[in-house]
Amino acid sequence: MIFNGLLCSSDDEQLLTLWNPSIRSSLLLPKSDVESMTNERYAFGIFVDHITNDYKILRIVDFKLVGAKIEIFRLSTGSWEVLNCQTPFEFLDHRQLDLKGVSYWVGVNFNANLILVSFNGHEELFGSAKIHVPDVIDNRYSIECLLRLFLFNESLVFIHSIDIEDDDSSVA
């Protein structure tokens, strides 16, 4: 993931490297205290706290049976801290977008509604809002829907497409 010229790379488990190519400097982040397990899903976010000017990295490990474990790395302290917050959602797209100090992802809540997940970098709190989409998308998102989040003119934009190769209908 890239943010403000910084590149954060991961092995999808515990090793994270923060690289600033403009000054040719990299930092291998210390290992997290949250145990990684195979077949678990990960989401990362990198952002700057606009109040304290501190760069932070958010790591979310989605354990299917026990829920998500969330931790944050603060560049100012050089250490990880586990956040005690609830995540009543699952990430569909682990690619993060940042807009004005808030990070965003596409997710689904436990009622199977598509949602926009947000994380306020200063307050270190999650939020979510239902994405209102036509019924055909809402009912078939898990198989055929491709919903992506983009930035356009300082606004969040959703782009949707359907994989027509798997559609049951045919043209004669």
Report residue 76's pLDDT band, with 50, 70 and 90 as the boundaries: very high
Provide the mean pLDDT of the chain: 76
Q: 106 or 164: whose pLDDT is higher? A: 106
- Sequence-distant (6+) residues with CB within 8 A of 49 are 55, 56, 101, 121, 122
Report residue 3's pLDDT band, with 50, 70 and 90 as the boundaries: low
pLDDT given at position 162: 59
Q: Which CATH number fits domain 2-133: 1.10.3720.10, 1.20.1250.20, 3.40.50.150, 2.120.10.80?
A: 2.120.10.80
- Sequence-distant (6+) residues with CB within 8 A of 38 are none
Q: Hey, is 77 helix, strand or coil?
A: coil
**What digits encode the pLDDT tens for the residues 104-157?**
888 877 777 788 888 888 888 888 888 776 665 555 444 335 677 888 898 988
| pLDDT at residue 96 tops 70 | yes
Can you say how many angstroms the Cα of residue 96 is from the centroid of all Cα atoms in its chain?
A: 4
Least confident of 77-81, 84-88, 101-105, 166-170: 166-170
Which amino acid type is present at position 23? Answer: I
How far apart are the C-alpha atoms of 122 and 45, rounded to whole Å? 13
| pLDDT at residue 19 tops 80 | yes
- pLDDT, mean of residues 35-60: 78
Neighbour count for residue 40 (Cβ, 10 Å): 16
Which tokens go with 106? Answer: 């596409």
Strand order in the sheet with 16-20: 2-3, 6-10, 16-20, 25-28
How far apart are the C-alpha atoms of 57 and 14, rounded to whole Å? 13
Burial of 126 (0-12, 13-18, 19+ CB in 10 A): buried
